[in-house]
A and B are shown apart, each in its own frame.
Chain A
Amino acid sequence: MVGSPAHPVDLAALIAATMLPFASFLAILVVTRGRPRLSAWLSIGSVTITLACSIALLALHSGLTTPIGFSADLIGSSGLNIPFGFLLDRLNLLMIVVVSTICFLVQVYSLGYMAGDPGFSRYYAFMSLFTWAMMSLAVSANLLQLYFFWELVGLSSYLLIGFWYEKFSATQAGKKAFVMTRAGDAAFFIGILLLFIHTGDLGIVNLDSRAALAGVPPSFITLSALLIFGGIVGKSAQFPLLTWLPDAMEGPTPVSALLHSATMVAAGVYLFARLFPFFSMSAVAMSVFLAIGTISMLLASTMAMVSRDIKKVWAFSTISQLGFMIMALGAGSYFAGVFHLTTHAGFKALLFLCSGVFIHRFETNDVYELSRLGAKRMLIPMVTMVLGAAALSGLPPLSGYFSKEAVMGSLAGLPNPVWLGAGLAGVFLTAYYSFRLIFILLFPRETAVTIPVGTPSPPPQAAGIPAGAPGAWAMAVPLIVLATITVVLGFFETPLKNFIGAGMLAGGSVGGEALSWTPLAALALALAGVGLAWVEFGRKGARQIGFVDRIPILHRLFAERWYIDRFYGLLVNLVIDRGISRLCYLNDRKVIDGGIDGLCEGAVESGRVMAVLQTGMVQYRLLAIFAVLALLALYFYY
């Protein structure tokens, strides 16, 4: 069996941490649906216990050396056994703490944000479902089990994006997210099957050990690594499956904070880190990952530069930050990727929750509109948002600075300077679009500039409660907690590095320490980005028109998201709708339906013939009996 056996206390804590949210999901759906308050407290209560258990586990096992495992055969069929269980090592100890913290804070925040919504109980039921799936995903001991919860996470994402299902765009966005992530998951599943065929054991510890894959040809490892990466591309919204994430912002803002920035989309990166030793066995696959991460990072940054929708800006930035993580992992730096995941979860959730406060108060997503209505007068969200944006841009001494430096360090360690250049460009763009948004919010212009907008701002969302209502504290406290984390977390780089680095299963360098000028360059570029944003949006008399807006072609390109959606639309329309679907439809109608119809009509027709035989006179029937008997008797002689 994998790892050292589990202590009963650990087992109890883990079961409580993973199963309680599920229990509350069922309880809310079955029992307390009609009582929103009770449902909310049920859900928050369970996630509190989950958080406590996760922190306790982390505290108990801070010096963990060998992973703890527990498994039992749940699916068995003629010699083929798939064990289900859990695996605890340093990576997922960190992950469950991150997940449960954000889940807890977002659920508390939702008390205020979702107050008065008719689907309040349903919302908390889905939140519990998500918490259960995500926690179980993090502690899964083998790839099939992980896939199982991976899909459940996708399901809860679908349910939550389309939470306001009476809104057409929300259901469309939910569908789009589901279908696009499924496309990646199909590849993921094929990858799992390939691995299973060749190794016969999907245990994560097994896959991460070089010994188990010693006999497997390298091209095969590359193939399955690329297929599994397909799942990551879908889940983490990387190129080319990145367009579902901005649309997913149709869901309630806390959902965007929890699922579509901090945790669920990070599941892809988590899987990468989980199977890091396996992936790093294939150099080809790693460089593909690096390229994909870089492309996604740069594309999403450019899209963020022109968006007027506050949530979409953060959504694009999520894609680009996930791209950073994948770049770091692809560059071989396990620590940088995981560290950036952790800090990003904190400050991105913070940014979304702050935006949620504005949206809740002013009922619009448009940045200029928010600014005009006086967003800067809301002190707590504005201050914390600036902190979050600064962290996102990588300004010291916030957490984002440290993790981004680690990422840059890992890129600098690569022989090809292109990656580092792209990374630095990304740093510049990140700082620019973050502070573009901040400056617009801070310095309202009465003469709202009208520039061609690619995507119209969506209609106001939840019917909110007025600020200062009892729900307000519930929304403010999580902001302050997250802001504190954002400020403080960076200083824990060294302990985290020791914790994560030492817990590595095998292979991979911990982090590059190559060029000493990299951190300085990154910092300078980030400051330059902020500066440019200041010049264009902040200073007195600035017209709040970005340099991209002045070049119509570029603006159009970015606002249309590089025409990726158009391309998919065309693809779906031409190849799938008019090509494959039509062929299938024709086949269905002509061949299958026609065939079945023919068969049925034939059968009914022969039934009619049989019935006609029946209506003869008695004599004929007796004759028939006689004839049959005679024939049967004759048959004996043959």
Chain B
Amino acid sequence: MNWMIAGPEIFYFAASLWFLLLTFTAQPKPAQNGGRRREYLTAIFLASLGILVCLASVHAQGWLFTRGFSVDFFSQVFKTLLSLGLFLIVCICGQINDIEDRRHNEFYFLLFTCTLALMLLVSADHLLSIYVSLELSSYSLYILVALRKKRGQGLEAGIKYFLIGSFASAVMLFGMALLYSSAGTAYLPEMAKVLPGMMASPAVVTGLLFTLGGFFFKLAVFPFHFWAPDTYQGASNQVAAYIATASKVAGIAIILRVVASAGQGSTYLVHVLVILSVVSMTLGNLAAMVQKDMKRLLAFSTVAHSGYVLIGILVLDAAGYSATIFYALALLAMKFTAFMVVVELTPDGRNLQIEELAGLHRRSPLMALALLVALFSLAGIPPTIGFTGKFLIFTAAIQKGYVALVIIAMVNVVISLYYYLLVIKAAYLLEPAEALPPLVVSFPKKLLAGLSIAVIVVAGFFPWWLIQIAQAAAQPLMLGR
């Protein structure tokens, strides 16, 4: 066995162990900032090192754990995205005021553990390893959500999240059992050989549907989306940002892998995905329109976006897969940028109401611009990465003949513009009731905001390099299966 191919996982395992160790030994610092600073810098250092490790192993290939863990370009691209996501989230964790100081080491421990679990998830090739890594990541997140100290908000959200999550994983486990009993194997590559011939069997399709249920929970697809608004609202802003970015990216990856290997040749599955996609985006967009809380709005927008992602997946060909991978990257960039603005605006960690954005363009032009670009990108307005992502997905779907679906999606894009523009209107056109002081943004944050804007816009103009990576990453899904 070549352990080196699991380099990222080993690294993140070690990093989370380090934070675990700190939780045992570190004393709560009364002089708060010094201690907080140290943990923060450690986390940033480890997270940036993690990106390097992932980049170093990006071309690794092979299997571990008797083929339950497969490393290919697909998984490595997603691991890089995950490490990037973790790094970005850690960057905005400089001032987490709504998590108790003595919990900070645990907070980072859970973040790193969750990232480790998500990395295992994108590489998992066996039903059991999928289940285990999914649960590991979910449990980390349940606790992270509940860590918020204010008024039991976090606890309530954590429990809701946990209840729905455990329900979903029960459904998934049931589905996996059905699949295993029908196919006689739990290896995805093996199943890919057997299942297409058995698509008429109710056990197989129900099993597949239920298995996907667990992933739909991760991705917040209807009907497993109910946790999203409450959890986003209840969790601290940084945790919500992590759920919206890294966790979603991994969810996309695992759905891609499972559907690509087990879902071929089933029109039923396609129909189910079409229904869920249409309902998800319509429901997400409609519900987002009446939200007052920024994080709830973003939660519903996430539901809508998982609807768009499903379109790319249900196309079931290389173009759709690569479009979905590209979209995962786009989601990471734009969701992070939006959440970064939310975090910057609420140094005390409260929930941001949309009307509080009033006058933002005067308080901090850069943050207002970042919000504008991120939301335009989410809405899919050119020339942003979000436009390119939607364009690729819709093109792939049209080439497969799903014209009606794409038209519905486009109508949804128009609906979504309504609430994105409401937010932008608040940031740019409304004046605050009383004059607010200018927002002080530290230089590294400014750099981060500038870079995010640049990435979203430049990748919208010159997406070709990223598209090529996405296409290369989609190859392992098509070959050898």
Contacts and interface: CB of A to CB of B under 8 A. Distances in A.
A629 B163 contact: no
A604 B213 CA distance: 29
Interface string B201-218: 010011001100100000
Given A629-B223, A632-B272, A636-B268, A610 B209 contact: no
A628 B222 contact: yes
B226 A611 contact: no
Given A624-B223, A625-B223, A610 B213 contact: no
A635 B287 contact: no
A624 to B, nearest CB: 6
Interface in B255-301: 268, 271-272, 275-276, 283, 285-291
Question: Looking at B222, B272, B289, B418, which has the most chain A CB atoms within 10 Å of its CB?
Answer: B289
Contacts of A9: none
Nearest to B268: A636
B289 A604 contact: yes
Interface in A133-151: none
Given A610-B283, A622-B163, A632-B275, A603 B226 contact: no
Contact of A632 (B160, B209, B288): B209
Contacts of A59: none
Contacts of A625: 164, 167-168, 171, 223-224, 226
Given A624-B226, A636-B202, A611 B291 contact: yes
A62 interface: no
A629 B209 contact: yes
Given A611-B291, A624-B226, A625-B167, A603 B209 contact: no
Nearest to B291: A611
Contact of B226 (A608, A614, A632, A633): A614
Contacts of B283: 610
B312 interface: no
Given A633-B209, A636-B202, A600 B418 contact: yes
Given A621-B164, A624-B223, A607 B289 contact: yes
Nearest to B229: A614
A1 interface: no
A618 interface: yes
Contacts of B205: 636
Contacts of B224: 625
Contacts of B276: 632
Given A614-B226, A618-B160, A621-B164, A603 B415 contact: yes
Contacts of A608: 290
Nearest to A628: B223
B164 A603 contact: no
Contacts of B291: 611
Nearest to A600: B418
Contacts of B229: 614
Interface in A390-446: none
B203 to A, nearest CB: 11
A621 B226 CA distance: 7
A607 B290 contact: yes
Contacts of B168: 625
Nearest to B299: A614
A614 B209 contact: no
Interface residues of B, number: 32
A465 B287 CA distance: 69
A594 to B, nearest CB: 18
B222 A611 contact: no
B286 A610 contact: yes
Q: How large is the interface on A (under 10, 10 to 19, 20 to 34, 35 or more residues)?
A: 20 to 34
Interface string B135-165: 0000000000000000000000000100110
A606 interface: yes
Interface string B172-208: 0000000000000000000000000000001001100
Given A607-B290, A629-B171, A629-B209, A635 B271 contact: yes
Nearest to B222: A628
A622 B167 contact: yes
Contact of A610 (B164, B210, B287): B287
A223 to B, nearest CB: 40
Interface in A349-378: none
A371 to B, nearest CB: 59
Contacts of B202: 636-637
Contacts of B164: 618, 621-622, 625
A607 B286 contact: yes
A501 B51 CA distance: 79
A581 B286 CA distance: 36
Nearest to B226: A621
Nearest to B166: A622
Contact of B287 (A607, A624, A628, A629): A607
Nearest to A624: B223
Interface in A589-611: 600, 603-604, 606-611
Nearest to A617: B160
B158 to A, nearest CB: 12
A636 B202 CA distance: 8
A618 B213 CA distance: 17
A514 to B, nearest CB: 66
Contacts of B418: 600, 603-604
Interface string B319-337: 0000000000000000000
B228 to A, nearest CB: 9
A630 to B, nearest CB: 10
Contacts of B288: 607
Contacts of A621: 164, 226
A606 B290 CA distance: 9
Nearest to B206: A633
B289 A618 contact: no
Contacts of B163: 618, 622
Given A622-B164, A629-B223, A635-B271, A603 B206 contact: no
A296 to B, nearest CB: 49
B386 to A, nearest CB: 21
B204 to A, nearest CB: 10
Contacts of B287: 607, 610-611, 613-614
Contacts of A611: 287, 290-291
A621 to B, nearest CB: 4
Contacts of A600: 418
Given A610-B283, A632-B272, A635-B271, A604 B290 contact: yes
A603 B271 contact: no
A315 B286 CA distance: 62
Nearest to B162: A618
Contacts of A622: 163-164, 167
A602 to B, nearest CB: 10
A621 B163 CA distance: 10
A634 to B, nearest CB: 10
A606 B418 CA distance: 14
Question: Looking at A607, A608, A635, which has the most chain B CB atoms within 10 Å of its CB?
Answer: A607
B267 to A, nearest CB: 10
Contacts of B226: 614, 621, 624-625
Nearest to B210: A629
A311 B79 CA distance: 78
Question: Looking at A624, A629, A637, which has the most chain B CB atoms within 10 Å of its CB?
Answer: A629
Contacts of A607: 285-290
Interface in A34-59: none
Nearest to A627: B223
Contacts of A606: 286
Interface in A445-495: none
- Which are the 3 A-B pairs with shortest beta-carbon distances? A610-B287, A607-B289, A628-B223
Given A604-B289, A607-B290, 12 more contacts: A603-B286, A607-B286, A607-B288, A607-B289, A610-B286, A611-B287, A611-B291, A618-B160, A618-B164, A621-B164, A633-B209, A635-B271
21 contacts: A600-B418, A603-B289, A603-B415, A604-B289, A607-B286, A607-B288, A607-B289, A607-B290, A609-B286, A610-B287, A611-B291, A614-B226, A614-B287, A621-B164, A625-B167, A625-B223, A628-B222, A629-B210, A629-B213, A632-B272, A636-B206
